[in-house]
Homo-oligomer: A and B are copies of this chain.
Amino acid sequence: MAQKIKLSTIADALGVSTATVSLALRDSPLVADSTRDRIKDHARAIGYIYNRRAASLRTSRSGIVGVVVHDIMNPFFAEILRSIESELDRSRQTFILSNHYDQLEKQRTFIDTLLQLGADGVIMSPAIGTPPEDILMAEENGLPAVLIARTVEGAAVPVFRGDDAYGTALATNHLISLGHTRISMIGGTDQTSTGRDRYQGYLNAMEAAGLEVRPGWRIPGPRTKQAGFEAAGQFLALKDHPTAACCWNDLVAIGLMNGIARAGLTPGVDISVTGYDDLEEAAIATPALTTVWNGQREVGRRAARALLDKLSGTQVRPSQELIKPELHVRQSTGRPRER
């Protein structure tokens, strides 16, 4: 590889100063049009590559934004990421992605990396057990944070997520209105705000309808298709098993439906199933899944914008933004089967 080309290479070749080259390349109005064009043409011709590390060291802005979620392989996060991506692209920010798999240590390592790289900000779905101090520490070191999907009590930052209690209440009420009285809640965990809220919404709806809730009807844990598939056995083995299942998310619901089908029953006919998120594949599942649209696009878009606002110095209040979910009724729910 040839001699490294830098600003001064261009400056020397054209008989101007590096200051002029620097300004010209960034389209500063301080530089005469003709000078600017001459410089830009030459830079392109010799294949100049802008050194962002050097610039960033000087300006202490890196153009890097970090995004950390539980698992990008989860389509729920993937859909959020997609909209974050398109929002950040527009303002020419590079983003660095990481999974924390709900391990606090991995999350801390990543935040540390961002600090070392001088990242401009971070969008995070906090790992289970994230203490508010972790977020405070980042902010104090110049790394503003915005939260998605989950909240952290005591962290004074903006949070964007769906109204989870309202959402599961929608699903549960839909099942109740079809005539179901024994309804199970499958998946999720009390260790996250989302988990607590979704369970609460289900409880609220059941109680408001005067329906009994048996402890065994809750099968906590599953969050993946695989786990939903495996939960089918446990669900069907419940004494007087429920006629409907309100699932933690679409993945669990689709897995459960597969497990139910594998056991020789027909989901949507023998057992009604609701999902949560309305992933792209909910509509093409067999049967098509009744689910709660969770506003992934909206969450990603608003979170990215809030962060960009913070970066540009706009005051952003540390508020909870709850996106209103919507029920999308499809074929996986119906009247309870006569027995």
Please, which residues of chain B bring their CB within 8 A of the CB of A2?
Answer: 140
How many of chain A's residues have a CB under 8 angstroms from any CB in B? 48
Q: Give min CB distance, A9 to chain B, whole Å.
A: 14
* A40-72 to B contact mask, C-beta < 8 Å, 1/0: 000000010111111011000010000000001
Query: Which A residues between 272 and 320 are near B, CB-CB below 8 angstroms?
Result: 280-281, 284-286
Is B72's CB under 8 angstroms from A78's CB?
yes
User: What CA separation (Å) do A82 and B101 show in the bound complex?
Assistant: 11
Interface residue stretch chosen among A13-21, A114-122, A237-245: A114-122
C-beta contact mask, A241-259 vs B, less than 8 Å → 1, else 0? 0000000000000010111
B51 touching A116 by the CB < 8 A rule? yes
Contacts of A140 in B (CB 8 A): 1-2
A262 to chain B, nearest CB (A): 7
- A92-100, A164-172, A204-212: which lies at the B interface? A92-100
User: Do B280 and A116 touch across chains, with their CB atoms under 8 A apart?
Assistant: no
User: Which chain A residues in 112-159 approach chain B with CB under 8 Å?
Assistant: 112-113, 115-118, 140-142
**Nearest-neighbor residue (CB-CB) of A56 within chain B:** B53
Contact status A53-B49, CB under 8 Å: no
Cα(A258)–Cα(B258), bound, Å: 12
Cβ-defined contact, B49 with A141, below 8 A: yes
* Residues A117 and B94 in contact, CB atoms below 8 Å apart: yes
Q: Tell me whether A96 and B99 are in contact (CB under 8 A).
A: no
Asked if A192 is an interface residue, CB under 8 A from chain B, the answer is no
Asked, given contacts A75-B73, A78-B73, whether A284 binds B229 with beta carbons under 8 Å apart, the answer is yes
**Additional 7 contacts, C-beta under 8 A, given A51-B57, A53-B62, A94-B113:** A51-B118, A53-B53, A53-B57, A53-B118, A96-B96, A255-B284, A258-B284
Could you list which residues of chain A lie within 8 angstroms of chain B, going by C-beta atoms? 1-2, 47, 49-54, 56-57, 62, 72-73, 75, 78-79, 81-82, 85, 94-97, 99, 112-113, 115-118, 140-142, 225-226, 229, 255, 257-259, 261-262, 280-281, 284-286
